[in-house]
Amino acid sequence: MNIVIANTTISGRWVMVGEKKARITRMQMVFLQELLSVEGRVYTRERMHDVIDREAGDGVTPRYMDVILCHIRSNLAWIGSEIEIKTHFGIGWSLPQVLKVRTIEVSPAQLAALLTAVTAYESVNPRIAEIARSAL
């Protein structure tokens, strides 16, 4: 499953803008996922340290989180991402509220089946059918 934020797609451990992509480490992905889980709010350094320490399993230092973030920002800048991770000095980090879209790939047959279902639903609730059709 893909997550689209601003002009950036996150798919597995890849971050992409158009054809340009960068592979991120497991810890970088954990860091990003944690920030996404509280989008728009500040994620504290202490909480992030606990999560990273638990995931890494080898007693990481608080400085390690700064290194992870530096590498994430570097990768995002290199691919031209519009994602901006804001630092709240002495507190933690946040992502501005942005529209997140989850995308899935469907075959032409699956798309045809979805369109048929939407068309059939138009008589039940035209407004919902219109919204569903615009998503396809």
The pLDDT of residue 72 is: 95
Over residues 57-116, the pLDDT tens digits come to: 877 888 888 999 999 999 999 999 988 899 999 899 998 765 555 667 778 888 888 888
DSSP letter assigned to residue 99: -
Structure tokens given for 134: 């615009």
Question: Which domains are seen in the chain, by residue range?
Answer: 2-101 (1.10.10.10), 106-135 (no CATH)
The pLDDT of residue 91 is: 93
Structure tokens given for 28: 């970088």
The pLDDT of residue 46 is: 92
pTM given for the model: 0.69
d(CA 76, CA 113): 37
